[in-house]
Amino acid sequence: KLFCSLSLPLLGPQPSISNSEGDLLFLLDSSGSVSYYEFSRVKEFMWDLVHPFTFGPKDVQTSIIHISTTPTMEFPFDRYLSSGTLQQAIRDTQQLMGDTNTGKALSYAKEKLFSDEAGARPDVPKVLVWVTDGFSTDDISEPMQLLKDMGVTVFIVSTGRGNYLELSAAASQPPEKHLHFVDVDDLPIITKELRDAILDVIQANRLHAVDITSSSFRLTWPKLLSQETGYYTLEYAPIDDLARKRTKQVSGAHTSLLLSNLAPETTYEVALIPESNVHYFPPQTTRVTTLAEEISPAQVLISESAPHSFHVSWAPTLDSVISYQILYGPLPGNSVKLLEVDGKSNSTVVENLAPNTTYLVTVTAVYKSGKEKSLSAKACTQEGE
């Protein structure tokens, strides 16, 4: 056993998610089988799920349909196009009580997801998130299949026991990506995973950025060309200084490109121009904001593990850091020891450890501003005396 390592993400503000067009519909169990407490927790979860998105006619639009005796739309897709108004609308949503007629609500959802009067848009991805206690008084299989046949991606979050076979058949495939069973108090555990999965659906056919840091991001786009049929021109510039535009060309075989040496906390305007010798493809554009330097994604690596020691290293080292504190202790347990190293260092050796033991190691960067950011990893010492 040389070492084991599990990095946990640095905590920092969520970057906003823009240039992601999609209609997102929540199917909310508002029936009498749900307690007031459960209903309020689900509303919190819905807001946590969507708040990093940018809302608008070229971004995400969202709506809520209640499952009750008769399905009811809380608000249409195009009513709330700012984060603040949508948050208030979700907060003001009242439980209707009544029966759990989910099949009826699904049929109603099918109409609204594709209707102009409900503010839905043609030719944008459609996502349904059904939050349920796992119980329905009518059949869901046929209306759910109709929705999926029309191209809707269905995510199901069951906060009750629910019938696994029935729900896994109802969710989009594969169920391990689209179906979650979770206690109502543990909904925050799945928020990021579900949001990322929704984002994958919405962004599947668009230019977008992933792996955003303070100085770089990776652009990905759908496969439009091949090596033989053309190439891509990528143009990017800070939006407040478009004269500093830079251009790159990549072969038609590529579907991604890493842009580096960027300025922190800067919004870039990016355009992808497919230069095809067969078809015309319109340019795709997106805006990407790099992170602040202090919340640059970092990593903690454990190496050179021995029975009584291991080597801890981290990245990046920043001029704004005055020191690093390394807390370490065996798992499970409460005994923790502290090592402090200079802000210019990026590694240290932790000694006097017990053999064949798993330790939790937390590296905290202490900034000149007084802020602190932490990252943790698990480390295993080797067997031996």
pLDDT at 8: 35
Taken in order 107, 178, 376, 214, is the CA torsion positive or negative?
Answer: negative
Predicted local distance difference test score (pLDDT) of residue 298: 61
Q: Which pTM was predicted?
A: 0.58
Q: Which stretch of DSSP H or E encloses residue 157?
A: strand 153-158
Three-state DSSP string of 27-66: EEECCCCCCHHHHHHHHHHHHHHHCCECECCCCEEEEEEE
Name the 3-class secondary structure at 71: coil
Q: Is there a cis peptide before residue 76, judged by omega within 30 degrees of 0?
A: no
Show the CA angle centred on residue 185, arms to residues 373 and 113, nearest 5°: 95
| pLDDT for the residue 2 | 36
Q: What is the pLDDT of residue 204?
A: 74
Would you state the pLDDT for residue 246? 95
Residue-wise pLDDT for 257-305, tens only, equals 999 989 888 999 999 999 988 888 878 888 888 887 655 436 788 888 8
Spans of the chain below 70 pLDDT:
1-19, 205, 293-298, 369-370
CA–CA distance from 44 to each of 68, 134, 150 (Å)?
Answer: 20, 19, 30
Please name every residue paired with 22 in a beta bridge, in sequence order, or none if there are none: 60
pLDDT value of residue 82? 87
